[in-house]
Each structure stands twice: as C-alpha cells, then as structure tokens.
C-alpha cells in the first residue's frame, strides 16, 4: 500500500453527546511537530506517496502545546515535506480555521479533498448532539472552502435517527446534503453508546422510519457521488497507480487526488507492476458512482 497514516494527536475534548471516544481515549494530546515531521520524512523515504494526518479532531491540534504551533502550521510542514499527497482527518467544523483553509489552497501537495462531518442538518439536533455549530456556520465553511479551493471534494458523516429526530429535522439534513453535493457520504443509523448523555434521551422513532430515512439518504448519496464523478469527464487527472484491476489485469487501478478510483487500459507492452507507485496522467472518459474510467495520456 502506498498510503500511510500519521497520528498527530490522541484523544478528544469535545464530548459530542452520542460519542464514547473522550471517555475511552482521554483528553487531547498533541505530538510535537518535529516528531511528526520526522515520521513523515521516514514514510517518504520508505516510498509512501499519500499521507493522511490523523486525529479525532485535527483542527484542535496544538491547544495542549501552549497553543503553538496550530494545525495549519503542521499541515503546511507536511505540505512542503516532499510527499506527493497530503490529507487530514477528522476536521470538526467548529474548529476549522481560515488558516487551515489557506494552507490547503497554498500547497499543491495538499489534496483538494476534505472530510467535514455534518452529522445532522437540523440546528435543534446539532444542539442536542453538542456539536457547537449550526447549519449556517457549516454552510459558511463550505463556501469558504470552495472560494479557496474551487474544485474541492467534500465528504461527510450523517447520523440518522438521533433521539428525537423528526421528519422535519431529517428534511433539514436532506436540504444541506443537496446544497453541499458531497462526493462521498458515510451514513449511520444512530446506535446508543451506554455511558453517553444521548443514551438517556427518549428515543422512540420506529425502526421502519429509520430504515426509510436511510434509504432516502442513500439515493441522494448515490446521485451526488455520480454527479461529482461525472464532473471529471474530459479532465486529465494525475492518478497514483495502486494495482491492476481485480477483474482484468490489463487495466490499471489507481487513485485520483480526490481519492476516486480510476481505471485505465494499459497498452499491450505495459505492465502494471512497473508502474506501481508512480503518478500517471489519465484522461477521464466515463464515470459511474464508484469509479472513473479513462485513457492513459
Ligand atoms: Fe470527539 Fe468526534 Fe467523538 Fe465528537 S464525535 S466527541 S469530535 S471523537
């Protein structure tokens, strides 16, 4: 695998009302920036091409280190470390700062892709979840991100059926999802975590309703992934070669900057093994919900 993950911090201070992580992993602890950079350099030397900086909430990196450096500076260090591709996960919307968005725009190595968990598109539910942002703030961030990185691809997490979620709350989620147009959406039906505040909230939405909401969201998710993938048709993308296609050894499979799977036919004298780990240009000819298909250029 050419992708690697570097933990830049551990723990979480946020106490979203449905989540057990702060209880089991403890408070935020950031690693020293020198140590992170050293690990990144080691991974580059070992041949990794795509590095993801990892933390429960990377945007609050550094708060425990006397407030300096903050995440944007660590991201910039990774951006100029020499690695081909840098990503980061997870970004809590309440802590996504303008400096981080500026760093994303400033370094070519920082990929035009961001996972920004929405969880719900209802302010009432967001308050009950203790998420500390509302829909307006979230959509404002999306606008700022698109202004700085016009071609950015956004992914998200949605919880369906948080205790007390009404049809109206759920429609709020559908509206935000339509408006943002996510490339990828991870959907979960709420499940109770004992020991969290949400576990004691009245929760009486029938299962059939939750399943029906899940299916409605699923349809929207497919539609917006397809729309995002189709936007790539006609473009030439740098593709990191990862393997041959599982079904056909004469087709290479790789990843675009936005982490889309890309397939391209190899010429008869080409061998995918010789190309592993290289970044090749592929013109996208067609797209489905799950992958892009193109021609090597
Ligand atoms: Fe922390 Fe994420 Fe859990 Fe919220 S959902 S408490 S930000 S780990």
pTM of the model: 0.95
Does the structure show a pLDDT above 80 at 223? yes
- CA 15 – ligand 1 centroid, Å: 6
The rounded distance, in Å, linking the Cα atoms of 141 and 212 is 30
User: 267 pLDDT exceeds 90?
Assistant: no
Instruction: Over range 104-115, report the average pLDDT.
Output: 97
Q: Is 126 in the pocket of ligand 1 (CB under 6 A)?
A: no
* Over residues 92-107, mean pLDDT: 97
Q: Which atom of ligand 1 is nearest to the CA of 25?
A: 8
14: Cβ below 6 Å to ligand 1?
Answer: yes
Q: How far is the CA of 275 from the centre of ligand 1 (A)?
A: 39
Region 257-272: mean pLDDT is 93
DSSP assignment string, the chain = --EEEEE-EE------TT--HHHHH-S-EEPPHHHHHHHHHHHHHTT--EEEEE-TTGGGTTTTTTT-S-HHHHHHHHHTSS-SEEEEE---GGG--HHHHHHHHH-TTB-SEEE---B-S-HHHHHHTT----HHHHHHHHHHHHHHSTT-EEEEEEEE--TT--HHHHHHHHHHHHHH--SEEEEEE----TTSGGGGS-----HHHHHHHHHHHHHHHHHHHHHHHHTTTT-EEEEEEEEE-SS-TTEEEEE-TT--EEEEEPPTT--HHHHTT-EEEEEEEEE-SSEEEEEE-
Average pLDDT over residues 255-278: 93
pLDDT at residue 66 greater than cutoff 80 = no
Mean pLDDT of 225-244: 97
Position 247 scores a pLDDT of 87
Ligand 1 center from residue 90 Cα (angstroms): 9
Q: Above 80 in pLDDT, residue 254?
A: yes
Residue-wise pLDDT tens digits, 201-220: 999 899 999 999 999 999 99
Q: Which is the closest atom of ligand 1 to the Cα of 19?
A: 3
pLDDT band at 167 (very low <50, low <70, confident <90, very high): very high
Ligand 1 atom with the smallest distance to the CA of 15 is 6
Stronger pLDDT, 228 or 249, i.e. the higher one: 228
Confidence of residue 69 (pLDDT cuts 50, 70, 90): confident
CA of 289 to the centre of ligand 1 (A): 29
Q: Give the mutation target among 11, 18, 19 for probing the ligand 1 site: most ligand atoms within 8 A of CB.
A: 19
Average pLDDT on 69-96 reads 96
In the predicted model, what is the mean pLDDT of residues 186-210?
A: 95
Q: For 131-154, what is each residue's pLDDT tens digit?
A: 999 999 999 999 999 999 999 999
Ligand 1 atom at minimum distance from 90 CA: 2
pLDDT reported for residue 291: 96
């Amino acid at each position: 695998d050419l992708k690697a993950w570097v933990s830049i911090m551990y723990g979480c201070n946020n106490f979203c009302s449905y989540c057990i992580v702060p209880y089991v992993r403890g408070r935020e602890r950031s690693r020293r920036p020198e140590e992170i950079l050293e690990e990144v350099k080691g991974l580059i030397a070992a041949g990794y091409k795509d590095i993801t900086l990892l933390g429960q909430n990377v945007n609050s990196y550094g708060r425990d280190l006397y407030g300096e450096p903050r995440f944007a500076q660590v991201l910039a260090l990774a951006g100029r470390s020499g690695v081909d591709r840098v990503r980061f996960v997870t970004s809590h919307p309440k802590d996504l700062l303008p400096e981080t968005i500026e760093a994303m725009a400033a370094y070519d190595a920082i990929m035009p892709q961001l996972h920004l968990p929405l969880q719900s598109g209802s302010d009432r539910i967001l308050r009950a979840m203790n998420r500390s942002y509302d829909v307006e703030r979230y959509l404002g961030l999306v606008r700022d991100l698109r202004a700085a990185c016009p071609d950015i691809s956004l992914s998200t997490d949605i919880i369906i059926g948080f205790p007390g979620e009404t049809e109206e709350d759920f429609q709020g989620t559908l509206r935000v999802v339509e408006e943002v147009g996510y490339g990828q959406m991870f959907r979960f039906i709420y499940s109770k975590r004992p020991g969290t505040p949400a576990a004691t909230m009245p929760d009486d939405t029938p299962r059939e309703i939750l399943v029906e909401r899940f299916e409605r969201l699923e349809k929207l998710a497919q539609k917006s992934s397809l729309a995002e993938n189709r936007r790539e048709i006609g473009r030439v993308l740098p593709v990191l070669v990862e393997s041959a296609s599982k079904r056909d050894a004469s087709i290479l499979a790789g990843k675009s900057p936005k982490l889309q799977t890309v397939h391209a036919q190899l010429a008869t004298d080409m061998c995918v093994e010789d190309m592993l780990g290289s970044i090749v240009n592929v013109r996208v000819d067609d797209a489905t919900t799950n992958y892009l298909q193109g021609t090597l250029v």
